[in-house]
Amino acid sequence: MIGARAQGRGGHNRIGGTLPVLILFLPPALLVFTLFVILPMGEAAWYSLYDWNGYGLPEKFIGLKNFELLFRNGAFRQALANNALIIVISLAIQLPLALWLATMVSHRIPGAVSFRLIFFMPYVLADVAAGLIWRFVYDGDYGLFAAIASFFSVASPYVLADKNLAIYAVLGVIVWKYFGFHMMLFIAGLQSIDKSYYEAAEMDGATRWQRFRNITLPLLAPTIRLSVFFSVIGSLQLFDMIMPLTGGGPSNSTQTMVTFLYSYGITRMKVGFGSAVGVVLFIICVTLAFGYKRIFMRND
């Protein structure tokens, strides 16, 4: 009887307490999020159908003309190709490198913690700073590349000014900056694998490779999928690092979708055209996120 009354009182409080908390706690987040994330995204879709310079109201409706112009634009196609290349390189070089290093420093060997920190450090630096540092490294007159070239007495290469090489130089910086982050993800994944699997395999005389292939890889699969996901999303929004390195040049050879959006949409205040780039980027991101979740991350 007493218990029931206490419960009743609790229930009463709950109802009486729900409304104030809803009114006070939810609206700030809803307002900020709607105003600065959802509405702008919707507006991007709307503006992308207009030819508009951002002043007054968008009135010159041109249908899908912006998208047509976009896909005809050589620089944009180059940007798409570069984004794809960045994804491929991240998956083909960065992930194996990160996994290889993770298997080495996840054991308790002397110095493991220091190595982990050193490898992770580039990740906390701003992309802009990393880009500027490497701009110096690649500099044909003063940088490390110049020194190496003069050591072998060959003409110093101007890597960032060469439209065939520049994108690979950029890719190098991307790997340099981000492999440590993926390594940390893998270390966390490796440490959650039950050690007794390895002990059992050792007793059965499994070789190091067999243990890696048959225990580590399958049990690390969720982490690998996560790491792939971050590589893809990160590659698609690459901007900060490109600006100090090449600014998208030479002759658009290192353009990404976002640098293209910046130099063709924002600096020229072509709101409609720039929004069309945003919409394409949005569609790619959402398709990849949903597709990836559906296919690969169903069980995670």
Partner 1 sequence: MTEQTLVVAKPAAVRRARRDIFSKHRMSFVTWLYLYASLFLVAAVVLLPLLTTGLGGFKTLGDLRVNPFGLPAQWIWSNYLDILGSTRYWQMLANSLIIAVLTVVLTLAVAAMAAFTFAHVKFFGSGFLLNYFLIGLMFPVATAILPLFIRIRDLGLLDTYWGVVLPQVAFGLGMSIMLFRKFFQNVPHELFDAALVDGCGYIRYFWHITLPLSRPILATVGIVAFVNSWNSYLLPLILLNTEGKYPWPLGIMVYQGEYSTDWQLVLAFITLTILPTIIVFFAAQKHIVAGLTAGAVKG
Please list every residue from 245 through 284 that binds partner 1, using CB under 8 A: 257-258, 261-262, 265-266, 271, 274-275, 278-279, 281-282
| Sites for partner 1 among residues 28-87 (CB under 8 A) | 28-30, 32-33, 35-41, 43-44, 47, 54
* Lookup: tokens for 285: 């991101």
Choices 68-76, 87-95, 119-127, 211-219 (CB under 8 A): range interacting with partner 1: 119-127
**Which residue number, 165 or 233, has a Cβ lying nearer to partner 1?**
233
The number of beta carbons lying within 10 Å of the beta carbon of residue 214 is 13
d(CA 166, CA 138): 10
Closest separation in Å from C-beta 239 to partner 1: 6
When binding is defined by CB under 8 A, the residue of 117, 191, 251, 268 that contacts partner 1 is: 117
* Backbone conformation region of residue 121, classed left if phi is above 0, alpha if psi is from -120 to 50, else beta: alpha
Size of the site for partner 1 (CB under 8 A): 100
Cα torsion angle, 46, 260, 53, 51, sign = negative
When binding is defined by CB under 8 A, the residue of 1, 20, 295, 299 that contacts partner 1 is: 20
Closest separation in Å from C-beta 14 to partner 1: 6
**Per-residue CA distances from 51 to 38, 211, 228 (Å):** 22, 60, 37
Residue 13's SS3 state is helix
The number of beta carbons lying within 10 Å of the beta carbon of residue 281 is 19
**Per-residue CA distances from 210 to 48, 73, 187, 203, 216 (Å):** 54, 50, 19, 13, 9
d(CA 138, CA 142): 8
* 152 lies in the site for partner 1, by CB under 8 A: no
* Lookup: tokens for 266: 């924002």
Closest separation in Å from C-beta 170 to partner 1: 14
When binding is defined by CB under 8 A, the residue of 50, 76, 119, 178 that contacts partner 1 is: 119
Binding mask 123-142 for partner 1 (x = CB under 8 A): xxxxxxx--xxx-xx-x-xx
Closest separation in Å from C-beta 2 to partner 1: 12
**Which residue number, 91 or 132, has a Cβ lying nearer to partner 1?**
132
